[in-house]
Every structure is written in C-alpha cells, then in structure tokens.
Amino acid sequence: MREEETKRSSQDSRFKRYFKKRWIYPAVYIASAALILTGVLWYQNSGDKADQLDYKATDVPGKKYNDEPAVEVNRAMENFVMPVTDPDAAEIKMEFYDNDSDKQKQEAALVFYNNTYHPSTGLDIAVKDGKEFNVLAAMGGTVTKVEEDAFLGNVIEIEHDKGIVTQYQSVKDFEVKVGDQVEQAQVLGKAGQSLINEKAGVHVHFEIRKDNIPVNPLAYFNKPLSALQDAKLEDDSQKASEEDAAEKGEQSEEGTSPEEGSSSEKEETGDKEGTGTDKGTDKQGSGSGTDTGNDEGTGTDKQDIEKDASESKDSTEETDSTKSSNS
C-alpha cells in the first residue's frame, strides 16, 4: 500500500512539475485551436463535395437558366397550327394580302370598309356550316392583350417569343386574361363577328406578326418558331404592299361589276365626248361660229338699217312730191 501511495505521489508531483512550466499552457491552447480549426475546415469541405454531387443549373457562373420558363423548351418543339379544332372543317373566307401573288388573289384579299380598300393582314377563318366554334391558341405563350373592340370584333394577343406574336380578332366569350400562360390548342374564346368584315359572318381573324410586321400565316403553318425567328422581314415592303393594295382597290372598285364598269366607262367616254363636243362648239362658236355669227349678225343689222334708211328716204321723197303737187 505504501509503495502504491509513494508511486502515486511521485506521479502527482511529476505532473504538477510538468504543468508548472510556462510553455505548457500556450502549447495546449494552440493544439486545441488547431484541432477545432481542422474540424471546421473538414466539415465545410465535406459539405461542398455533397453540393457538387447535387448541383443545379443556377450554380453555373454567368448563366441564369431559371430565368427562362420551362415552357420555352416545349415551345421550340411546337409548330404553328390553325386556331380551330378541326382544320378540315375550316373555310378561309379571306387570305393574306401578298404583294407577290397574282392580281386576282390580291383583289380577293382586299377588305372594303367605309368606301376604302384595306389589305388583309391575316386570315379570316370560319367553319363550313357558319356556326360558332372555339378559337384555339396556335402555339403556347403568354397572353399580352385582351381588348374589347367592336370594329375588329375584340382582340386577343399571345406572345411566343421576343417580337413574335399571334393575334386573334373577332373573338367573344373570353376564357383568358392578360398574363395567363396558355398552351397550344388551349381554348381562348369563341368566334364572333366584326364591323370591318361583316361579310365574313361568324369567323376569327388570325394574324402572325414579327416585330409588328404581319406575315402570311399559310407560309408558317406546321413550321416551328425558329422558322419565323430566322426570317428577315422589311417593313418598307409591307408599306409598299399596302400602297399597291390601295391602288388596286381603286382599280377593282372601278371594275367590280360589268355594269358598273361599263357605266363608268360610258360616263368617262360621255364626259370625254361631251368635253370634246363642248370644246368643238366652243371653238366653232368662238372661232367660225362666233366670228361668222357676229359678222352675219352685224351684216344683217347693217342691211336692216340701210333698208330702214332707204324706206324713210322714199317716204320723205313721196311726201315731198305730194306736197309739191298739191301746191
């Protein structure tokens, strides 16, 4: 027992002597701090490795993929379609005015309103039985305009890409509002009527525009959005086509019906003949007619005066002779 106590006492004394040294406490502090710092760094590195195994697209520097909606990927796979449920039952009442088409098609693509011809900037689509039908989105996108307009028959506009939109005019019973995300073939409303084209009856006026320039929808049906993105359009050509449409509209107005055309031609020829005869009579009257008439008129007047003078002279001579005979 005494030996064990002596050993313990000797160990305690050694331990006490060891901690009495000045450098021991700073060494313990430094070692503890090193262990703690090592543990923290190891924990952070292990968390970074776990994040690297499960990273997101937003972690890529310089790219912000989540800013674009996921619909864009699906939309790139979509093609423009006719905004009706059954394209086979659809009937195009009026086509797009194309400046490169023949004269007959151009005249058929003119809208006559308020004594003025306007080029059609889209398609007037109806069904063969003339009944109401659902108007569908030609491609997915964001609704940017929903307006009530009696002249155009109300307007819905959907943006599919920057600067590329589709417009749906002559629509009633709206089923979407501004800001809605719509899918392809989603119902937007029902076909209605418009004041600008009452002859079309129940229909929908469908337009595709890029940078506010209308394009021919028939040229982009069953084609992807990229086909229109790559297309280069010039606004000046559209303005020129509108001017040509106005000129051809005036020509077609003159020759719409044979009776009107013949009557107008007769009137024109009558006016020409009338002006010609008027000019002729004016010339004759002013030239030979007036001159000769004036000359003849003055001549007859002179003859009448001379006759009157001679008669008066004769009468005076007779009176003088009677007086002389009486005397």
Q: Is the model's pLDDT at 311 over the cut of 50? A: yes
Query: What is the rounded distance in angstroms from the CA atom of residue 172 to the CA atom of residue 165?
Result: 19
| Cβ-based burial of 184 (10 A; exposed 0-12, middle 13-18, buried ≥19) | middle
The token pair at 175 is 């089923």
d(CA 213, CA 237): 10
| Phi, psi torsion values for 56, nearest 5 degrees | -110, 165
| Between 127 and 281, residue with greater pLDDT | 127
User: How confident is the model over 260-291, as pLDDT tens digits?
Assistant: 444 444 444 444 444 444 444 443 433 433 34
Q: What is the DSSP letter of 305?
A: H
Task: Identify the CA nearest to 293 among candidates 27, 319, 301.
Answer: 301
Cβ within 8 Å of residue 165, ≥6 positions away: 141, 144, 157, 158, 159, 208, 209
In angstroms, rounded to a whole number, what is the distance separating the alpha carbons of residues 119 and 255? 18
What pTM value is reported for the model?
A: 0.54
Residue 63 DSSP symbol: -
Taking 70 as the threshold, does the pLDDT of residue 157 lie above it?
Answer: yes
Confidence (pLDDT) at 180: 97
Q: What is the pLDDT of residue 181?
A: 97
Render pLDDT for 98-108 as a digit per residue (tens, 0 to 9).
999 999 999 99
Average confidence (pLDDT) over 77-105: 94
Place of tokens 């968390």: 47
pLDDT tens digits, 234-251:
654 455 455 555 565 555
Angle at 123 between CA 118 and CA 129, to 5 degrees: 115
Decide: residue 274, CB within 10 A, 0-12 exposed, 13-18 middle, 19+ buried: exposed
| Sign of the torsion angle spanned by Cα atoms 188, 194, 196, 197 | positive
pLDDT tier at 139 (50, 70, 90 boundaries)?
A: very high
Q: Is the pLDDT of residue 41 over 60?
A: yes
Instruction: List the beta strands (DSSP E) in the chain.
Output: 90-94, 110-113, 116-119, 123-127, 134-136, 141-147, 155-161, 164-169, 171-172, 181-182, 187-191, 204-210, 213-215
The per-residue pLDDT for 185 is 96
The amino acid occupying position 70 is A
